[in-house]
Amino acid sequence: MPSIAFHDLANMDYKKAWDYQENLFSSLTDQKIGVQTSSENNLPDGYLLFVEHPHVFTLGKSGQESNLLVNEEVLKKHGASFYRINRGGDITYHGPGQIVGYPILNLSAFGLGIRDYVFALEQVIINTLEHIGITSGRIDGASGVWLEAGKTTRQRKICAIGVRASRGITMHGFAFNVNTDLSFYRLINPCGFTDRGVTSIEQETGKQADIEQIKSILKTEFAAVFQSEIIDI
């Protein structure tokens, strides 16, 4: 059974978390291609990081900067930063009350290609939402997890997914809206869409969710979907 080392980073600056991801990504890549130190001989098959970021907008490598609808001065007024990054997808928002998950996995250990990997990430979120009585699903041609996915005028995204994979090693991941301040999405065209909404668990249930409980369910579902053992570090 593949092993995944788990680390809850709590609240962390986006760039600091990105650098941490890059270090883990490099260690798994070096192990895979046989460039490793003696201390890296027994690395896990992957890592799973949970984190909440201060207000930040990130734009994927294929995204359009025009989907950021405000200038730098407005960003500063909202206490938000902006990064162009090396994942797929367009623009999205991270902030308090949102669980950001960064799986850094050696996909060959899980027998997955990149499409199956994204499908599995979506399934983790779908299963987690089922635990709290929220039905969700997928939309063809639009990654992530959606509510009322089959109703064009009612579709709203509760979890964005954007990943990078190189040499079969992944990084970046998902942004799951739990108690997120959705007003920040007014500053962007989320994921490049202008005709679909965003939502959160709090928005759907009318009350704040226990974010630690949601993290616990996420971990359990991640282990189940990826058929792996998750070990706290």
Mean pLDDT, rounded, of the chain? 92
Active site residue 191: yes
pLDDT of residue 40: 52
- Give residue-wise pLDDT tens across range 24-53: 999 999 988 776 554 555 789 999 999 999
Burial bucket for residue 178 (CB in 10 Å: 0-12, 13-18, 19+): buried
State whether the Cα torsion 30-58-128-155 is positive or negative.
Answer: negative
In the predicted structure, residue 65 carries a pLDDT above the cut 60: yes
Q: Which residue has the higher pLDDT, 163 or 191?
A: 163
What is the architecture, at CATH level 2, of domain 3-232?
2-Layer Sandwich (3.30)
Report the amino acid identity of residue 22: E
Give the integer Cα–Cα distance in Å for 73 and 78. Answer: 9
pLDDT of residue 38: 45
Task: Out of 191, 198, 214, 225, pick the active-site residue.
Answer: 191
